[in-house]
Every structure is written in structure tokens, then in C-alpha cells.
């Protein structure tokens, strides 16, 4: 397993070096039938990048702009109400990214900083 690329400079502020992109994130222990429906990254200019989704993982590409960003993940499937599902980086210690806990929106977001 690769080393983690994300770090947390302070609570809840995820940081990653642009040179470390692309990075793969995944659902941690998802219930049966739960997959990622869509994932998007909004940069500080408001530009949106559709992230490549493959079942229970997605990739943040190296084309996203540096600066503050908003990572949004929407899941689908499973039985209601879904339990809280963590999104983690696909690395050896499973760096925590965000939690999807709302059974109606099935959506989670977090602030991300992409450093030059």
C-alpha cells in the first residue's frame, strides 16, 4: 500500500500537495449495495471537476487548481437508513477524508486545500 498523501494541518482542514495528485479515495467498509454515484471537486474559483468514479472509489486528478477546494461525494444504494460511511484515502492507514451520514441526501463534503 502506498503512503498517505493527504495531511491535516489542523482539525478538519485536509491538505495535499498538487505534486501528490492524483489521489484515490474510497468508501471504508461500505454496506452491501452501496456505491459512489458521483464525486465532484469545486475549486476556489467555483470551477467544478467531475471526478472519475469506479464503484466504491474515486480519483482526484492532478488537473484541479491549487488553493482551497470543496470535495463532495454522493453515494447510492443500500437500505434505508444507511449507517454513517467514511470516505478515506486509499493508503496504508486509511487517512480519514469525510463522513457520509445523512440518509436522505446520502452526501458528504469537506474542505480541501491543494498546495503548490
Partner 1 sequence: MGFLLNETCLGQTLPTPIDYCNNLAAEAIDHPDPDHLHSLLIDIVNSPSCLFQVSLSNREANNAISPARVSLWNAYQSFSSEQQQGSSLSSSGSTNAVSKPSGPTSLVEEFGGANVTRGTSSSTVQWSPGTMLTNLALNGVNYLCLENKKGKDPSNCISPRLLRDLTPLTFKVTANTTSGTPSLTGTATSTGSTGPSQQVTGNSKGTSGPSFAGLTVQYSLPFASRNVSAVKSLTAHASSGSSNGQNGSASQPALEYYKKEILGAHKMELALGTCTAYQNWKEKTEPLFNAKLGTITKTITNPNDKSQAAQAALALQSDVENQYRTLLNDMTNDASCQSAFYSAKGFYAAILEAETYEYFVATESSSAKPDVAFEYDLQTPQDKPSYSTVKATGTWQFGGKAPTQQNLNDFANIQISRLAKTKASTAVSAKELSQASKPLAQDTTRPFSLTLNGTVDIYNSEPPSSVPSASHLRDIRTGAEFDWVVSPFGKGSVFANFLGSLTAAAAYSYEDQTSPALLTGPALSDFTGLPSSTTAAYAKRGVIHLGQIRFGFGTGKNLTYPLAFTYSNRTELITHPTWGLQFGITYNFTSMFNSGEASNTGSK
Q: List the x/- string, 58-77, binding to partner 1 by CB under 8 A.
A: ------------x-x-x-xx
Instruction: Decide if residue 8 touches partner 1 (CB under 8 A).
Output: yes
C-alpha cell at position 31:
454496506
Instruction: Decide if residue 23 touches partner 1 (CB under 8 A).
Output: no
Tell the smallest beta-carbon distance from residue 2 to partner 1 (Å): 21
Instruction: Decide if residue 7 touches partner 1 (CB under 8 A).
Output: no
Instruction: Decide if residue 32 touches partner 1 (CB under 8 A).
Output: no
The neighbouring-strand residues paired with 41 are: 49, 71
Q: Which is nearer to partner 1, 11 or 19 (CB)?
A: 11
Is the separation of the CB atoms in 43 and 64 below 8 Å?
Answer: yes
Provide CB contacts within 8 A for 110, sequence distance 6+.
12, 14, 70, 71, 97, 98
List C-alpha distances in Å: 31 to 27, 36, 61, 71.
Answer: 10, 12, 27, 22
Span near partner 1 by CB under 8 A; candidates 16-24, 32-40, 59-67: 32-40
d(CA 85, CA 6): 19
The residue ranges that bind partner 1 (CB under 8 A) are 8, 11-12, 33, 35-38, 40, 42, 46, 48, 53-56, 70, 72, 74, 76-81, 83-84, 86, 96, 98-110
Amino acid at each position: 500500500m502506498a503512503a498517505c498523501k493527504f495531511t491535516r494541518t489542523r482539525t478538519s482542514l485536509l491538505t495535499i500537495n498538487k505534486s501528490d495528485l492524483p489521489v484515490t479515495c474510497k468508501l471504508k467498509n461500505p454496506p452491501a449495495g452501496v456505491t459512489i454515484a458521483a464525486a465532484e471537486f469545486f475549486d476556489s474559483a467555483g470551477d467544478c471537476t467531475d471526478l472519475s468514479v469506479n464503484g466504491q472509489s474515486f480519483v482526484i486528478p492532478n488537473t484541479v487548481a491549487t488553493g482551497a477546494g470543496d470535495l463532495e461525494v454522493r453515494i447510492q444504494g443500500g437500505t434505508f437508513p444507511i449507517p454513517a460511511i467514511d470516505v478515506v484515502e486509499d493508503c496504508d492507514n486509511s487517512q480519514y477524508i469525510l463522513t457520509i451520514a445523512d440518509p436522505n441526501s446520502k452526501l458528504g463534503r469537506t474542505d480541501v486545500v491543494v498546495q503548490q
